[in-house]
Chains A and B, each alone.
Chain A
């Protein structure tokens, strides 16, 4: 495989303890995810909150090592590295978090926040300042503001600073965990443009996480749809837009607001008794409970991801 980043059968479980029993019950937050990202492309991961998107990113970066599975980064198996070696790889993979307000230390001037990584690398003071000014300029913040505190900036500016901080170590891979969902519409477009410019200029590769399908479809080259810890459908963006196959993908697409899908005469009788007190089904397809096309078989066997067209894989029997 010559993918830039490839993930094979990644699994992350969290264990809880029973009160008296020794038996440990596991929550499978990420359950056998495989995907590949080519260099200088954007992979968009879509799913609702709680489906394991963030857990997946943390596992990929080994911030929270996966329970099992492999992560290959530029030809190296991350799981096989010792922690010192892993650190040198971390330089090349950075993360941008959702909430810029909590991602920056309020007690540190932004130049200090940005300098931390460089100090670790042993850069001299003058060189650091020069680099920080370059970075701030790159993300559209006036370098003269480098000695300000985070509260002196607006949300959009803070997100720019967070992006600048992620770039200090000259990474070639950025994981973007809902980087714009806390921002206003007009600011959102600014940040998206910035990310696309940076990708071009610095030859970056992105793993872009969002629940906003419109945004993911706009930005990504490939899209993966995640549900309850598993990938349900994965394909190139064009293929996904023109030919979505999994019932869950279809539901996500039809839920995008602005398509005037609310039937003005709808009296609600067609709506199913929604939001049952769900528990994870023991066997079968995870989506069976909510699926419009469930069959007997879906309850018994979980469908595997299989290729229905080149580069388009779906985990559904009907596809």
Chain B
């Protein structure tokens, strides 16, 4: 099957004074058109580095791509020249960032910022670009009024800014949309609206979406496939229902258990002890072993291989299917 995006064994590190920070340690991921693939992990696990690497936005140095390839539409994005990358960025791959307030230019109005993209990539004349911009703004939920074109980012609320940014990301009909925590900075009610919007646009333009989030609830809402990333390595990857119904990796299980829920009132939350390891000092063996309730000596030495357990349900753990401590159920 023709994949839209295939990431193979991507390894990225950042130069540091002492030991290099290993941001990604062999990430594999694939995504086909019209599919939403969620990349879930805590901060510092390598989610954003992955998306930046796809877009070729990582500064080299200090970043170093040690190995791996990113195949998009049959081309390896890592081997493209800067000018070729520029043609892909924004045109074939759109990006929505976490904090719209940071990524919109406060000195230009929304209209100018959207038409700029169209003019750069398609050499459209200003007038028809403005017309198209208005259409896209309408599509993301703004009325037909031209008022929005002349508004500056500070005049818009958080949700409106995020909508404007989505309009900007999709105005070139990208085949792939990368959404990096698009709803984290928004309120719950807005969050759902934006998720609905992204979902609708995906169907309308048959885009593939790489959806990056730390929130399993949000991911449950929108994704088809989920990959869980921990310390720069994907520890589990499965179709959504498989993952939620039968999580295999202890990290995934514990993440699901640690979500507070009204139904769990009066019980203690199953917190994961410890913290995410620093990318400069990733533990040997399985990187999760210091926090894992199942860990044994083997985990401290041997890195578990990623194994297909059930029809594409991949996980990397020595103990899958063997035992699970009852007190953690």
Contact = CB atoms under 8 A, between A and B. Distances in A.
Interface string A201-219: 0000000000111110111
Interface in B146-180: 147, 157-160, 163
Contacts of A217: 261-262, 265
Interface string B232-245: 00000000000000
Contacts of B260: 188-189, 192, 212, 214-215, 218-219
A266 interface: yes
Contacts of A105: none
Main secondary structure of the interface of B (DSSP, over half): helix
A262 B195 contact: yes
B199 A186 contact: no
Contacts of B188: 48, 211-213, 252, 255-257
A251 B196 CA distance: 15
Given A186-B254, A186-B271, A193-B271, A256 B143 contact: no
B195 A188 contact: no
B78 interface: no
Contact of A184 (B163, B214, B262): B214
Contacts, number: 129
Which range contains the number of B residues in contact with the other chain? 35 or more
A268 interface: yes
Interface of B: 42-43, 141, 143, 147, 157-160, 163, 187-193, 195-197, 199-200, 214-218, 220-222, 254-255, 258-262, 264-265, 268-273, 275-276
Interface of A: 48-49, 154, 156-157, 184-190, 192-193, 196, 211-215, 217-219, 237, 241, 251-252, 254-262, 264, 266-268, 271, 273-275, 277
A135 B218 CA distance: 36
B215 A185 contact: yes
8 contacts: A184-B276, A185-B216, A214-B262, A218-B260, A255-B191, A255-B192, A256-B188, A268-B197
Given A48-B190, A185-B215, A256-B188, 18 more contacts: A48-B188, A185-B259, A189-B270, A190-B271, A193-B271, A212-B260, A218-B269, A237-B262, A255-B191, A257-B191, A257-B221, A258-B218, A258-B220, A259-B221, A262-B199, A266-B196, A266-B199, A271-B193
A264 B192 CA distance: 13
Contacts of A274: 141, 193
Given A196-B268, A267-B200, A258 B217 contact: yes
A41 to B, nearest CB: 13
Contacts of B268: 193, 196
A264 B200 CA distance: 8
A259 B196 CA distance: 13
Q: Which of B216, B260, B262: most chain A Cβ within 10 A? A: B262
